Amino acid sequence: MLKRFFPILLSILTFLLGWDLLTRLSGIPNFILPSPLSVWSRFLRAMQDGSLLHHTAITLTEIVLGLIVGVLFATVLGYALAKSRALEKVLSPYLVASQAIPVIAIAPLLVIWLGDGILSKVVICALIVFFPVLVNTIVGVRSVPTALYDLMNSLHASRAQIFWKVEAPASLSVFLGGLRIGATLSVIGAIVGELVDAESGLGFLLQLGDFQYDTPMVFVAVFTLIALALMLYGAVRLLENKFLKWQN
Amino acid sequence: MSHAPILTIRNLSAVFQNENGGLRALDDVSFNVRPREFVCVLGPSGSGKTTLLRILAGLIPPTSGSFTFGRGRQPSIGMVFQQANLMPWRTVIENIKLPLEVNQMDEASARKKAIEMIELVGLQGFEDSLPRDLSGGMAQRVAIARALIHDPDLLLLDEPFASLDAMTRERMWTELSRIWQARQKTVIMVTHSINESLFLADRVLVLTQRPGKIKMDVAVDLPRPRKDDIRYTSNFGKLARKLRGAIE
Ligand SMILES: Nc1ncnc2c1ncn2[C@@H]1O[C@H](COP(=O)(O)OP(=O)(O)OP(=O)(O)O)[C@@H](O)[C@H]1O
Ligand SMILES: [Mg+2]
């Protein structure tokens, strides 16, 4: 255990030390590059007054809801597209076009339409999650070997049985690959939404810190975002370890 | 033994659509199969042997002609494909009990039956292995156990031993004929090997070059159980010469 984490620990320590030395020796003012210690004490203060937890909870809610909505839509539509070439022909121009527009460009529009509350962020988040999950669902379902369909059909299996016993497990690996990308992107989605206009959330905190020259606060928010992204990524990895044991 | 056919095949033809009109794979094939009969189908590559099995399994409809099962209802089918066609995410025992799951048998009885089948094909100790850890011969035995476990009315085998080395193949012949005698199944088995068909079958059908028609229908009246040295008997030699003459 210690052996496994030692290199990571060492690299983090070196990073912090280098950062600290840079702030001490270069004379860069604290509001431009705060020292690790000032970030740490800002972090403790934000924990004590509850503001960090409050804003993190808001952002996490947006992310989780956005993920659920995005993944749900992408999975259902991806499955339908994988099964029907006709549907794919009709819809793929729209899907490709939708990907040509960066979500950042339409985020302000969505905030105008849906308000500056949580809903607009959830939708932005869902949009950004949607595409990688959609593509991987299609690829995953298409990659199911036809021989396994033959096997199930020779046993007179029902459509539901074919889905649960063949299609779902056979495409899970590719699907989770898409979810892994989607999970990390979802953090970006929520933040983009909050940066456009928000009353709360880590993106709001980020902007607040920026306006008030509270740079340590900006750092606290950024590190919290990193932690969120790592956590989501880790959650998908856990799913992979649990369900894809047969692969490694 | 009853002599009423369990399977009646009348004027079966199969045409696959392609650019230049259609490709006729099977042409006017008719034959009967008696209960518990072991029928081998021999024929050159492309003569429609796999197509015949796929039609009988209900995986594709015939272009014309019909096939009816003696008992009137759709028979349950156990199929062994040319490749073992196992689910890589399922262990040996989980692969074997798949047909019982499809038939919605309760988990405890399904497991018990699967363990019996594992003993029948001699895979004790490999219950929880994944397909990737099996040799080709072991995987093929899993496929055979899976085809037998739900006690199907009809066993359809498509060159089940083609991918095995000669020694494993001959051991599998002995095992299959032992299983067949113990379980008293009706079997239709496609093969390229004259020896294999004479070792296993009650009757051998030889198909012509594409489009496949029945060219010869030979009863194999060799005594059972057939041991390895049966190939040196004069009767075996005579039948082998007859079949070899029939196959272009
Ligand atoms: N799904 C399909 N679509 C189009 N053509 C097909 C299809 N399945 C088979 N065929 C064609 O029908 C013919 C017979 O095929 P089949 O697989 O039944 O032959 P086979 O006797 O099993 O040959 P082999 O001994 O090589 O396995 C072949 O020419 C093949 O190309
Ligand atoms: Mg074939």
3-state secondary structure string, A56-89? HHHHHHHHHHHHHHHHHHHHHHHHHHHHCHHHHH
Residue B145 distance to chain A (closest CA, Å): 14
The closest alpha carbon to A129, from A52, A172, A187, A56, belongs to A187
Determine whether the interchain pair B74/A156 forms a contact, defined as Cβ–Cβ distance below 8 Å: yes
The closest alpha carbon to A140, from A165, A174, A163, belongs to A174
Q: What totals of helices (H) and strands (E) does chain B contain, helices first?
A: 8, 9
Give yes or no for residue B124 CB within 6 A of ligand 1: no
Q: What amino acid is encoded at A219 in this protein?
A: F
DSSP annotation of B76: P
Question: A60 lies in a domain?
Answer: yes
pLDDT, tens only, B112-156:
999 998 988 889 999 999 999 998 888 988 998 999 899 888 999
Question: A112 lies in a domain?
Answer: yes
Question: A15 lies in a domain?
Answer: no
Tokens of A148: 């396994």
- Residue numbers in B near A150 (CB within 8 A): 54, 57, 59, 79, 81, 85
List beta partners, residue B22.
Answer: B17
Question: A21 lies in a domain?
Answer: no
| Residue range(s) defining the domain that contains residue A95 | 35-247
Question: A6 lies in a domain?
Answer: no
Query: What pLDDT score does B3 carry?
Result: 67
**Across residues B207-218, what is the average pLDDT?**
88
Query: What pLDDT score does A99 carry?
Result: 81
Query: What pLDDT score does A233 carry?
Result: 93
| CA B236 / ligand 2 centre spacing (Å) | 25
The closest alpha carbon to A131, from A143, A139, A119, belongs to A139
| CA B50 / ligand 2 centre spacing (Å) | 4
**Across residues A120-149, what is the average pLDDT?**
94
Query: What pLDDT score does A218 carry?
Result: 94
Question: A16 lies in a domain?
Answer: no
Q: SS3 for A49? A: coil
Question: A18 lies in a domain?
Answer: no
Tokens of B215: 């060219």
B105 touches chain A (CB under 8 A): no
CB count within 10 Å of CB B73 equals 8
The closest alpha carbon to A175, from A79, A108, A247, A83, belongs to A79
pLDDT, tens only, B180-205:
888 778 999 999 899 999 999 999 99
Contact B110, B102 (CB under 8 A): no
Question: A61 lies in a domain?
Answer: yes
> In which residue are the tokens 């005579």 written?
B238
Strand bridging mode B77-80 / B154-158:
parallel
d(CA A243, CA B159): 33
**Across residues B9-33, what is the average pLDDT?**
90
**Across residues A99-112, what is the average pLDDT?**
87
Tokens of B245: 């003459």
Beta carbons within 8 Å of B17's beta carbon, 6+ residues apart:
B23
Higher pLDDT among residues B225 and B124, named by residue: B124
Residues having C-beta closer than 5 Å to ion ligand 2: B 50
Beta carbons within 8 Å of A127's beta carbon, 6+ residues apart:
A70, A103, A189
User: In chain A, how many domains are there?
Assistant: 1
Looking up residue A157, the CATH number of its domain turns out to be 1.10.3720.10
Cα A86 from chain centre: 31
pLDDT, tens only, B164-185:
778 878 877 887 888 888 877 8
